[in-house]
Chains A and B, each alone.
Chain A
Amino acid sequence: MSLEALPGVIAVSLVAVATLVIGSWGLKLSRTTSDFFVASRSVNPQLNASAIGGEYLSAASFLGVAGLLLTFGAEMLWYPIGWTAGYLVLLALVAAPLRRSGAYTLPDFAEARLGSRSARAACSLLVVVIAWLYLLPQFQGAGLTLRSAVGAPTWVGPLIVGVVVLANIGSGGMRSITFVQAFQYWLKLTALLLPAAILLAVWFGDGTPPAAGAAADLAEWSRPLAGDGGGRGLYLTYSLILATFLGTMGLPHVVVRFYTNPDGPAARRTTLVVLGLLGLFYVLPPVYGALGRVYADELARTGRSDALVLELPRLMVSGPVGDVLTGLVTAGAFAAFLSTSSGLSIAVAGVLGQDVFDRWFSPRLHGVSAFRVGAVVAVVVPLVVALALPNLGVARAVGLAFAVAASTFCPLLVLGIWWRRLTDAGAVAGLLVGFVGSGSAVLWAMTSRSTGGWAVLLEQPAAWTVPLTFLTMVTVSLLTPDRVPAHTRAFLARLHAPETLLLDRSSL
């Protein structure tokens, strides 16, 4: 191992150890089953929001966005905007009602709202698909990061992330994970903010040199529209906006977090704090992208822009300071893989534990042991795929996960919360249509490289799959009015009525 790799090795080891230590410290505080699954609903908005931010800011946010900005320019700014604005849409349409529904997962919500086991099964399947689609790039990214930071073979990163995640969720449960995730938000923010400040100072010290490249290139690089900026680019941009704005509420690891809020208003305030935390974080990747254009243009030309955040500090600052900064960004990147992978794995482990192992293998597997078997499967399957297929673009797969979530769970949640006449038949039909539409786009994107003509519709499917799903759910529900659950009105009352009123009534 070369001396150059030392900061990276130290950083990755420290993050892994800190994660395990904080996790086991949280474990000591976790005494009851309720602690284990929902952190006893005692998490205050600030801590909970940090945890949500920590879980949400994945490798794509930490590494991917800056690299994409360097290569493609302003059009890629829509990713971080969409990932933040998604929380505003979530806040306005689902945050408080979802918390009040008492649902712990999306399948729980579907079953409670529609009184249907088949709706539950469809949701469970979708949770696993979306989470795995999102997990894959996390594992791959960990491999790329370790290769770039310490020169390790690409299989080392996924393996370390898998083992740490399993150790943590298998033992700690939701309460300890909450502390770990909160810690990792602030670690990621520091790891991006501090080097950015120093690098900006270096840039000013150098007399603010302008970006490399011709003026025409720069104008192209500053146009916030996909591709050539023509009609096709406009479609791709709006489709991406739709996918990210609406897909956030349907991500499995996001929903789980809402149940740890004490009540509906707390869920709203948590979401508001999350908006602030994400906004604070996402102003940083553009700084790296722009400085990369000045100092690291060759990374874009040689197709290594994914490593921009990791390599920029050394390119701009030499000596020990550059080493320390490199260690810091490596630590942040590794934290990003760990936290997002943990959140997604918990979501999948919960679904697999409840809906597969507990049901099919009962009584041999039950409760916590079913959850643990679920966790192993949840981590191992995408891990094996990531090791076998190392060539999937990181931000691309994450983007598609958003498209699938926006085309399936977003309509289910919005109609389920706001529309009385939704039926289980309508919901299942809509989920099927949305999944087939967006899923075929995912398959196409993973196998094909052509981008001409109508293929543009598959490249970014949300613009047509989301309306199609809404339309299907509404039409089929209206055709099956006798299937509207009898408890719909009471259930909606619970979703929207303030808790203070319910407390009142219970004391009558």
Chain B
Amino acid sequence: MSDQPPRVRVTGPSRRPQGGQRRVDLGVESPLSEVYLDSLLAAQLRLAGRILLVLGLTVGSLPLVFFVVPDLAEVTPLGIPLSWLLLGFGVYPLLVLLGWRFVVSAERNERDFVDLTRGTR
């Protein structure tokens, strides 16, 4: 048993709610990193806004479309009412696609931010 390697304790970074001072200094470190942080926040918020705008213009517009053109309820391509095709099946792939777009772009925004911050150290 003595040839067993010594036990190594593997730990991640602390994620307790109050955080501790070490993790907090990022925000007040320098005026420059403040500017970068503001730009990251703005970029992520713009991204979220774009995704939600697309959601509103596509899925969110459907009630209005069916309200303005009531006859759409009687359209039945493939023998299935259009509303059922769109709302029952068509919406979900779009939601996943939008989610995927968001994840990719959000991670890119974060990488850009990291590169910026590292470059100025």
Contact = CB atoms under 8 A, between A and B. Distances in A.
Nearest to A414: B48
Grouping DSSP codes into helix (H, G, I), strand (E, B) and loop, the A interface class, with mixed when no group exceeds half, is: helix
Cβ-closest 6 pairs across A and B: A279-B92, A493-B27, A222-B81, A286-B88, A77-B87, A490-B27
Interface stretch (A81-89, A141-149, A301-309): A81-89
A272 B27 CA distance: 29
Nearest to B15: A102
A351 interface: no
A498 B109 CA distance: 10
Interface residues of A, number: 70
Contacts of A415: none
Interface of B: 12-13, 15-19, 22-28, 34, 37, 40-41, 44-45, 47-48, 51-52, 55, 59-60, 62-64, 66-67, 70, 73-74, 76, 79-84, 87-89, 91-93, 95-96, 98-100, 102-103, 106-107, 110-111, 113-114, 117-118
B17 A494 contact: no
Contact of B107 (A87, A265, A276, A418): A265
Interface centre among A233, A487, A497 (most CB of B within 10 A): A497
Interface stretch (A91-99, A123-131, A356-364, A469-477): A91-99
A505 B45 CA distance: 25
18 contacts: A91-B99, A112-B18, A208-B79, A222-B81, A222-B82, A224-B83, A241-B63, A245-B55, A265-B110, A268-B103, A283-B92, A290-B84, A489-B34, A491-B24, A494-B26, A498-B113, A499-B13, A506-B23
Interface of A: 41, 74, 77-78, 81, 84-85, 87-89, 91-93, 96, 101-104, 108, 112, 208, 215, 218-220, 222-225, 229, 233-234, 237-238, 241, 245, 262, 265, 268-269, 271-272, 275-276, 278-280, 282-283, 286, 290, 418, 487, 489-494, 496-506
A309 B96 CA distance: 26
Contacts of A245: 55
Given A241-B63, A268-B103, A490-B28, A497 B113 contact: yes
Given A41-B12, A208-B79, A222-B83, A283 B73 contact: no
Contacts of A112: 17-18
Contacts of B89: 283, 286
A332 to B, nearest CB: 19
A108 B17 contact: yes
A85 B90 CA distance: 13
Contacts of B27: 489-494
Contacts of B40: 496-497
Contact of B87 (A81, A104, A208, A504): A81
A89 B27 CA distance: 27
Contacts of B55: 85, 88-89, 245
Given A88-B98, A283-B89, A234 B26 contact: no
